[in-house]
Amino acid sequence: MLKELNKLLNNQVVFENGLGSSFIWHTILIPLWKNFFDDKQENVYVPGIPPELPKGSVVFMGMNPSMNEGKQYKKELGEAAGPQYLEFAKWDKEKTLLNVGKLLALEKKIEEKHIYGSEMEELKAYFTSKIEKEYLPPFSHIDLLFIRGTDQKKVINTYLKSKDKKVIEFVRKQLEITLQLISDAEPKAIIVLNADVRKFLIRTKYRTISKDLPFKFQPNDEPAFYDFIEINKKSIPFIGLRSISGQAQLDSITKQSLKDGLVKRLKVILGQPIEEEIIRIQKEKINELELKLNSYIPK
């Protein structure tokens, strides 16, 4: 699986023409869905489309792409195309391939409207306002799984907690793609705001699924603001937090404190001096200047 994926990812023609994500979707994910699901199945959707992760970005990581069965997507796509998108996205071996071009075009419009989701969009805007331009990286997003569904508990119980060999193999193949895409993008950092994704990555839960996959958690022994995740032998700074906007019990001051702490961690990772470090450097320069001035004063 990984050798097959590496061949696809190393195909520069595919990426230069902007076909990387749809190519992987067509050649790996659609056949994977065909082998796993029946011809037509209720509440099952086509796989999420792999993102094009920019090199050196800060990657927000979620659990899986949402697909709200009760929503018509009219706001994002218009009166006619909204319901059409939902219909095209339903899993049907025959119709999926017939409507694939239309689905991909509509999917792109959906992504343009809300690439990160409200919480990640909020954090991205906050980071952009607080991190100096010369240090500011691009931001991107990837989900652990390509299974669409808004009910994450259902996704976790059906797939991540499964003991069924067929299900485990189905999930592991998705995870191999996700890990390879992250590794290939060489991100500056991974930020996880989902408790279950964090537990998966630090291997405190879902070990049956994660066994032998090419990643491991590396706690930082030095006093620091972050740990590491090693994927395919590449160490990537890793910040795993609880959700910020999703914590209804947190007051606004606590939420602001969490956001400020996250900015400080990112500044350390990106090499931007944090305020305390700037103050320390300024004090040292003042002390040096005072010493020089004192040396000129006659005794």
Q: What angle do CA 156, 70, 192 make, to 5 degrees?
A: 35
Q: Is the predicted pLDDT of residue 24 greater than 80, yes or no?
A: yes
Whole-angstrom distance, CA of residue 110 vs CA of residue 113: 5
Instruction: Note the pLDDT tens digit of each residue in 144-172.
Output: 999 988 788 999 999 999 999 999 999 99
Query: What's the pLDDT band for 288 if we cut at 50, 70, 90?
Result: low
Q: How is residue 237 written in tokens?
A: 């700074």
**Domain extents in the chain:** 2-293
Q: Which residue is associated with the tokens 């993008």?
A: 185
Nearest-CA neighbor of 51 among 73, 80, 75, 20?
Answer: 20
Helix (H, G, I), strand (E, B) or coil at 139: strand
pLDDT of residue 9: 45
Q: Distance (Å, rounded) from C-alpha 127 to C-alpha 229? A: 22
Q: What mean pLDDT is predicted for residues 71-86?
A: 68
Q: Is the pLDDT score of 118 beyond 60? A: yes
Between strands 215-218 and 227-231, the pairing is antiparallel
CA distance 59 to 45: 25
Contact 128, 136 (CB under 8 A): yes
57-66, 157-166, 239-248: least confidently modelled range: 239-248
> Per-residue pLDDT averaged across 212-218, rounded?
89
* Alpha-carbon Rg for the chain in angstroms: 23
The reported pTM is 0.79
Q: What is the pLDDT at residue 174?
A: 95
d(CA 238, CA 231): 11
Interior CA angle at 111 toward 171 and 64, to 5°?
20
Q: What's the CA gap between 138 and 187, in Å, rounded?
A: 10
Residue position matching structure tokens 């094009």: 52
- Quote the pLDDT of residue 244: 54
- In contact, 202 and 70? CB cutoff 8 Å: no
The whole-number pLDDT of residue 15 equals 37
pLDDT at residue number 152: 87
What average pLDDT score do residues 193-212 get?
88
Residues counted in the chain: 299
With DSSP H G I counted as helix, E B as strand and the rest as coil, what are the percentages for the chain, rounded to 5? 55, 15, 35
Confidence bin at 43 (pLDDT 50/70/90): confident
Task: Give the list of residues 6+ apart from residue 66 with CB closer than 8 angstroms, or none.
Answer: 117, 148, 149, 150
Kindly give the interhelix angle for 2-9 and 165-185, rounded to the nearest 10 degrees.
30
Residues 223, 229, 232, 234, Cα dihedral to 10°: -40
Q: CA-CA distances (angstroms) from residue 242 to 93, 215, 229, 230?
A: 38, 21, 17, 21
pLDDT tens per residue across span 184-199: 999 999 999 888 999 9
- Look at the block and give the residue holding tokens 């899986």: 64
pLDDT category, 65, cuts 50, 70, 90?
confident
| Separation of alpha carbons 287 and 1, rounded Å | 60
pLDDT digits (tens, 9 = 90+) for 79-104: 666 777 777 778 877 776 666 777 77
